[in-house]
Amino acid sequence: MGKRVAIVTANRAKGEEAKRILQGFGIEAEVVEMEKLEVQSEVLEEIALRAARAAFEVLKRPLVVDDSGLFVEALNGFPGPYSSYVFKKIGIRGILKLLEGEANRSAYFKTALAFVSRDVERVFVGVVRGRIAEEPRGSRGFGFDPIFVPEGEDRTFAEMESWEKDRISHRARAYEAFAKFF
């Protein structure tokens, strides 16, 4: 039997994306939908690791939890670790409003992926640099995907097919680092 791991998330789309990525590395993953512990911290790695530890206490099996954020240079890294909350409160339009008239649209997405098992705790990080589009474009993906254009691309994540995004995304990079370890 191959390697197995649980992906713990309350976001089904995020879980399915992670599952697809891991399948590409021959890792069998099950998405376990449950609310994760939301620690208040400026550090994604700490948020992910504490949430993974809490989930392990419940599930008692090898699992991963990821926490991702959109870091906008002109906004001093905001929303960063608060991306999910900011998305719920002001959404894509709110971020675009904050950037009105701003020439510097540099940003990056970062994922901190925490793996916890009985014997091991490790955090893997993936980053993809890019810029914030002037307007939302595309209907795929989730969260801030319609306004994020990765480096070397003219399309937003939301304009890409899932397999294209899975090759270059921050989440893909973190899961790839995990898969090489696992």
Active site amino acids: 67
Q: In Å, what is the CA distance from 180 to each residue of 4, 25, 60, 67?
A: 14, 8, 23, 19
The per-residue b/e assignment along 151-167, b for 16 or more CB within 10 angstroms, e otherwise, is eebeebbbbbebeebbe
In sequence order, which residues have a C-beta less than 8 Å from that of residue 84 and are 6 or more positions away?
Answer: 143
